[in-house]
Chains A and B, each alone.
Chain A
Amino acid sequence: MSEQPPARPVAVDIRGLGIHYDLRLTKRTTIKGSLVGLLRRNRNAPTHFWALRHLDLQMFHGEAIGLIGPNGAGKSTLLLALAGILQPSEGTIAIDGKVSTLLTLGAGFDQELTGRDNIALAGAFLAIDHVEMDRLTPSIIEFADIGPFIDAPVKTYSMGMKARLGFSIATAITPDILLLDEVLGTGDQVFRARSQARVRELITRARVVVLVTHDLSYVTEFCGRAILMEKGQIIHDGDPAETVDLYRRRVRESKLLAEGDAERFAKPAAPTPATP
Chain B
Amino acid sequence: MATLSEPAAGTQLTPPAHRGIVRLTRDGFGDMTGRWRLVRYIVAADLKRMHADTALGQLWWLLDPILQMLVYYFLFAVIFQRKTPDFLLFLFAAILPWKWFTTTVNNAMNSIVVRQGLIRQVQFPKIVLPAAATVAETFSFAIGLIALAFLFVPYHERLSIWVLAIPLIAVVQLTFSLAVAIILAAANAFYRDVANVMGHLLRLLFYISPALYALWEVPNEGLRTIMLLNPFTVLLTAYRTVTWGTETVHHGTRPDFLALGIWMVISMVLVVVAVAIFKRVEPTFARIL
**Which segment, of B35-43, B225-233, B258-266, faces chain A?**
B35-43
Say whether A97 contacts B8, CB under 8 Å. yes
Contact of B192 with A30 in the complex, beta carbons under 8 Å: yes
Does B5 sit within 8 A of A, measured CB to CB?
yes
Which residues of chain B from 36 to 84 have a CB within 8 Å of any chain A CB?
Answer: 37-38, 40-42, 45, 48-49, 52
Q: Is the CB of B119 within 8 A of A85?
A: yes
Contacting chain B: which of A119-127, A208-216, A221-229? A119-127
Whether A200 sits at the interface, judged by CB under 8 Å, is no
In the bound complex, CA of A98 to CA of B120 (Å)? 18
CA distance A195 to B42 in the complex (A): 29
Count class of interface residues, chain A: 35 or more
- Measured CB to CB, the nearest residue on chain A to B35 is A127
Is B15 part of the contact surface with A, judged by Cβ < 8 Å? yes
Residues of chain A with a CB closer than 8 A to B5's CB: 127-129, 132
Provide the residues of chain B in CB contact with A108, threshold 8 Å.
115, 117-118, 121-122
Known A-B contacts A85-B120, A98-B6, A107-B121; the reply to A113 vs B49 at CB < 8 A is yes
Whether A88 lies near B14 (C-beta < 8 A) is yes
A133 to chain B, nearest CB (A): 9
Chain A residues closer than 8 Å to B287, beta-carbon distance? 21-22, 25-26, 86
Q: Which of B2, B42, B191 contacts A173 (CB 8 A)?
A: B2
Asked if B45 and A121 sit within 8 Å, CB to CB, the answer is yes
Number of A-B contacts (CB under 8 A): 142
Interface residue ranges of B261-289 to A (CB < 8 Å):
283-284, 286-288
Cα A83 to Cα B14 with chains together (Å): 13
Interface 1/0 per residue, A79-95 and B, CB below 8 Å? 01101111111111111
In the bound complex, CA of A117 to CA of B35 (Å): 18
CB pair A174–B2 under 8 Å, yes or no, is yes
> How far is B40's CA from A25's CA once the two chains are assembled, in angstroms?
32
Cα A174 to Cα B288 in complex, Å, equals: 30
A94, A107, A130: the one contacting B10 at CB < 8 Å is A94
Q: Does chain B have a CB within 8 A of A267?
A: no
Are B52 and A112 interface neighbours, CB within 8 A?
Answer: yes
Whether the pair A125, B193 counts as a contact (CB closer than 8 A) is: no
Please give me the residue from chain B that is nearest to A107 by CB atom.
Answer: B117
Could you say which residues of chain A place their CB within 8 Å of the CB of B35? 124, 127
A113 & B121 in contact (Cβ 8 Å cutoff): no
Query: In the assembled complex, which residues on chain A have CB atoms less than 8 Å from the CB atom of B6?
Result: 98, 127
Contact between chains at A132 and B2 (CB < 8 Å): yes
Interface hub of B14, B42, B117, B287 (most chain A Cβ within 10 A): B287
Contacts of A92 in B (CB 8 A): 12-14
| B121→A103 contact, CB < 8 A | yes
Nearest-CB distance from B163 to chain A (Å)?
36
Residues of B within 8 A of A132 (CB): 2-5
B220 close to A (CB within 8 Å): no
- With A84-B123, A112-B52, A129-B5 already in contact, the answer to whether A90 and B15 are too (CB < 8 A) is yes
Of B40, B123, B193, most buried by chain A (CB within 10 Å of CB) is: B123
A136 on interface, CB distance cutoff 8 Å: yes
Please tell me if A2 contacts chain B, counting CB pairs below 8 Å: no
| Contact B1 A25, beta carbon cutoff 8 Å | no
Among A22, A83, A117, A130, the residue within 8 A (CB) of B45 is A117
Q: Quote the shortest CB–CB distance from B205 to chain A (angstroms).
A: 20
Q: Once the chains bind, are A25 and B121 in contact (CB under 8 Å)?
A: no
Binding site for A on B (CB under 8 A): 1-16, 35, 37-38, 40-42, 45, 48-49, 52, 115, 117-124, 190-193, 283-284, 286-288
- The 7 A-B residue pairs whose C-beta atoms are closest, nearest first, are A107-B117, A129-B5, A108-B118, A84-B123, A93-B13, A124-B41, A112-B49
Binding site for B on A (CB under 8 A): 21-22, 25-26, 29-32, 34, 80-81, 83-99, 101, 103-104, 107-108, 110, 112-113, 117, 120-122, 124-130, 132, 136, 153, 173-174, 176, 205
13 A-B residue contacts at CB 8 Å?
Answer: A21-B287, A85-B119, A87-B15, A88-B14, A97-B11, A113-B49, A121-B41, A124-B35, A127-B6, A127-B38, A128-B4, A129-B5, A132-B5
